């Protein structure tokens, strides 16, 4: 997977760019690279961590501090169980779902206006 810009990550994850930047400050394990112009470049690992973080904060209703602790435990190997594997798979499926949704919208936008309707309008 190539590295993604913050705009692409925003589109895939459904998390606004300013929130992503905040999360970078609060969660040291999320460290996107910077290109020569200083723009964020997110790796596949960063995307997985963002989906996991989003799940913890939005679905499980963790506080920032609670999510920090949970992420640290999971990444340090203290929680190497089925739950961690399921969470990772869930984040991957969620990323694929959003990618498919985005591609579908782009295809709909391209095809909806190219071909005029062949149905006749009845009065």
* Residue span of the structural domain in which 43 resides: 4-112
Query: Residue 82 — very low, low, confident or very high, per pLDDT cuts 50/70/90?
Result: low
Is 118 a member of any domain?
no
Query: Residue 108 — very low, low, confident or very high, per pLDDT cuts 50/70/90?
Result: confident
More confident residue, 98 or 60: 60
Is 69 a member of any domain?
yes
> In the chain, what are the helix, strand and coil shares in percent, each to the nearest 5?
65, 5, 30
More confident residue, 29 or 113: 29
Q: Count of domains in the chain?
A: 1
Is 56 a member of any domain?
yes
Mean pLDDT of all residues in 76-102:
72
Question: Residue 71's domain is classified under what CATH number?
Answer: 1.10.1660.10
Q: What is the 3-state secondary structure (H, E, C) of 11-51?
A: HHHCCCHHHHHHHHHHCCCCCCEECCCCCEEECHHHHHHHH
**DSSP letter, residue 59:** I
Query: Residue 85 — very low, low, confident or very high, per pLDDT cuts 50/70/90?
Result: low
Is 119 a member of any domain?
no
Sign of the four-CA dihedral 57, 63, 67, 68: positive
Is 117 a member of any domain?
no
Is 24 a member of any domain?
yes
């Amino acid at each position: 997977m190539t590295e993604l810009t913050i705009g692409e990550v925003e589109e895939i994850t459904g998390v606004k760019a300013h929130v992503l930047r905040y999360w970078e400050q609060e969660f040291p394990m999320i460290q996107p690279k910077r290109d020569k112009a200083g723009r964020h470049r997110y790796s596949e690992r960063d995307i997985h961590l963002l989906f996991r973080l989003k799940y913890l904060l939005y679905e499980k209703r963790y506080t920032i501090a609670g999510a920090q602790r949970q992420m640290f435990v999971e990444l340090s190997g203290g929680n190497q169980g089925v739950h961690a594997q399921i969470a990772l798979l869930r984040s991957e499926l969620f990323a694929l779902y959003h990618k498919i949704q985005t591609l579908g919208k782009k295809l709909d936008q391209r095809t909806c206006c190219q071909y005029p309707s062949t149905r006749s309008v009845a009065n």
